[in-house]
Amino acid sequence: MKITASLCPQCYMEIPAQIIREEHGVWMLKQCPIHGQFTGLVERDPLWFDFCEKADAKNIYNGLLIDVTSRCQLKCKYCYHETGNDNYIPDIVHEAVNNKTAAPFILTGGEPTLHPNLDEIIHEVSKHGETWVLTNGIKLCNEDYFTEVTKELIHDGVLYIGLSFHKESMGKDLLLLDLLRKKNLKLGTAFYVIDDLKQIDCALSIYRDNLDVMSEIRIKAASNLWSENHAVNKIYTSDMLKYLSSIGKTEIDTRYNNKVSYANVIHDGLNLKLISWYDKWNIDLVDINCPPFYKSSDGNYYNMVTACLKNKANELKIISSQEKSPMYQTVTVEVMEYAQGGC
């Protein structure tokens, strides 16, 4: 049995939790003083959970996600953001300056390319640390715009963007790969969201067809975080591992950090990252209290998953500073503190 901290799935107050390993799964038991007891499945496969516990990774990957805009030209089924506004350039740069030891900076949204001054943002933020952009790639397919925006994102033939594939783009995201091929560039990383294990085949097909411009892909199970509430049948990291093992040679890549919710895998020679984030039912706030960081709407920095759940709580106006449990300070970390070895 492991003692940790979690969230009440109704009021989002931080509460103590127990994680219990059983033969057919790893479960979380937690008790909210207001809403009672809850049980959530942390992982379907106890062996994968045990492996991650022994690995004791201190982070997932380094980085600070910085919102550029909450606008997007797509209406994807699985999205954390509602339609919104562009952020002010001074605020974006100020966040980078204040947290430069937490770099690399990962400019995100929404869709960052919709910000009318993305080139200026990249120029200013890049002065303070390595900078990436997460994008659906649609606007970048315009070669003139691509040249304007990416000139400070190319390093040793690699374009520092994370390209997120979406069926809602109607194949426009794939056009960016053709442009990279034309310019003899490699894509930094890619993302593909699934809500059915068979969809992994589609992600692998894109990867195999574009090995000349892709070096990895991140396959993320749909999850209910922040404004996104459409995921029905939760897919766990171990589910993806087992599926991949059934269709080809699959090994855990121990060169990188592996956690319950994040697995680095080599499948038939392909570099994959399998992601199944915690949700409000099973989040282990201690395990996930690590980079990458993201600023929540309450003004504090948390792991990206925790921040999204905090944002949901703040939107519901349920949690207040008086409701935070005594465990709050042990599961919250400022970016600067972590960068100095605080996590």
pLDDT score at 122: 98
Task: Provide CATH 3.20.20.70 ranges for the chain.
Answer: 64-275
Other beta carbons within 10 Å of 340 = 10
Q: What is the Cα–Cα distance from 127 to 118, expressed in whole angstroms?
A: 14
**43 within 8 A of 56, measured Cβ to Cβ:** no
Q: What is the Cα–Cα distance from 150 to 31, expressed in whole angstroms?
A: 49
pLDDT score at 323: 47
pLDDT score at 81: 62
pLDDT score at 229: 66
User: What is the torsional sign of CA 45, 48, 54, 60?
Assistant: negative
Does domain 64-275 fall under CATH 3.40.50.1110? My reply is no
Q: What angle do CA 325, 328, 333 make, to 5 degrees?
A: 170
pLDDT score at 242: 98
pLDDT score at 123: 98
Peptide bond into 110 cis (omega under 30): yes
pLDDT < 50 stretches in the chain? 318-343
Q: Shortest CA distance to 333 belongs to which of 305, 300, 309, 304?
A: 300
Tokens of 66: 């910085």
pLDDT score at 173: 85
